[in-house]
Amino acid sequence: MAPAAAAGAAGPSHPRPRIALTQGDPCGIGPEIIVRALGARPDRDVFIVGDVEVLRRAVRQVGLPMPVACIDDPAELDSLPPGVLAVLPPPDLPAGLAALPMGQVRAEAGAAAARCIEHAVRWVRQGAAGAITTAPLNKAALALAGIHWPGHTEMLQALAAGCGDPPAVRMMLESPELRVVLVTIHLSLRRAIDAVTTESVLQTLRIAHAAGARLGWPGRRLAVAGLNPHAGEDGLFGDEEIRIIAPAIRLARAEGIDAHGPFPPDTVFMQARNAPGHPGAFDAVVAMTHDHGLIPVKYLGVEHGVNVTLGLPFVRTSPDHGTAFDIAGTGVADASSLRRALAVARSALAA
């Protein structure tokens, strides 16, 4: 699918799909890991949506002698010399971002992170980018700036809607060994349980099935984790599996979706794990709640995890970690997860 068609809006044509990489919270590790991830020879398919001086500060913090160029259009990437970081600043960024103290929650930083996301979506809508990769933002800084989305996922969902209804989206966390798609995300556990309905589980299975085709999964075989211990043990420990989850699986299978379960959540991730000598039995696991699903995949290595938002009309990936205010500015942050997030975005664009 061409980037302009994926964004649902016409715009100028560009010769190849590009990735808009947002800088994240300027007081966190986002700019540093961007510099490390792109290395001494930045790829010509990535432009950074952010503040030029913030990226120059990050170059000094990391200690890589890289020039930073301010561009006005992603098409300028092709004319830049090798080894240059291309930064496209939104016109409405707060002033003085590079002077903000590292590792602190600041309203200006939250506002800047949000502006970068908004403008990255605009570039996708115009066809200048086919994917967005986002460096970490800080939810408290967003709230302090008066931006009340609880995170990237919900903000991108709203921005993707334009003037229509927001698309149904789901969070997926993937590592080289395991993919997990969540039915519910940023809700209290009490509210999340109430949000697990036959329709929400069925919708998650539909989104995961469609994403599997887009992302090139081998078989799109989906395991569904139960909600209760031992998947309810035939109703002994709860009947959500019987009343809600199993009917959703039956409906999904009737639509041609290769879904199985519900399985006990304490063992299904081991079945799905794709490790040396142990090929995974499933392409992904659908989990009912945030921590049910994310604990196992993060345990396998947060440095290799990638957050993928499924259901958007464009590709969106991000690292599997936050702003790490405790080490921000020290130049020691690990960029492995961001490198994989960029790799997953490229793979999706090529599929």
pLDDT at position 114:
95
Which residue stretches of the chain have pLDDT < 70? 1-16, 162-164
Domain ranges of the chain: 1-164+312-351, 168-311
d(CA 280, CA 284): 9
d(CA 245, CA 253): 13
d(CA 1, CA 49): 23
CB atoms within 10 A of CB 281: 14
CA atoms within 13 A on the CB side of 210: 16
* C-beta of residue 124 within 8 angstroms of C-beta of residue 20: yes
Query: CA geometry: angle at 105 spanning 342 and 160, to 5°?
Result: 45
Torsion 220-205-312-179 (CA) sign = negative
List, in sequence order, the alpha helices (H) in the chain: 3-7, 30-38, 52-62, 107-125, 139-144, 152-161, 189-195, 198-215, 240, 246-254, 268-272, 290-299, 336-350
pLDDT tens readout for residues 29-62: 999 999 999 987 777 899 999 999 999 999 999 9
CB atoms within 10 A of CB 134: 27
Q: SS3 for 289?
A: coil
pLDDT at position 148:
84
How far is C-alpha 257 from the chain's CA centre? Answer: 24
Q: Among 3.40.718.10, 3.40.50.720, 3.40.309.10, 2.60.40.10, what is the CATH number of 168-311? A: 3.40.718.10
Phi-psi region of 224 (alpha: psi -120 to 50; beta: other; left: phi over 0): beta
Q: SS3 for 217?
A: coil
Q: What is the largest CA-CA distance in the chain?
A: 66
Structure tokens at 70: 């301010």
Burial annotation 291-316 (CB, 10 A radius, 16+ → b, else e): ebbbebbbebebbbbbbbbbbbbbbb
Superfamily of 1-164+312-351 according to CATH: Isopropylmalate Dehydrogenase (3.40.718.10)
Closest CA to 35 of 103, 82, 84, 73: 84
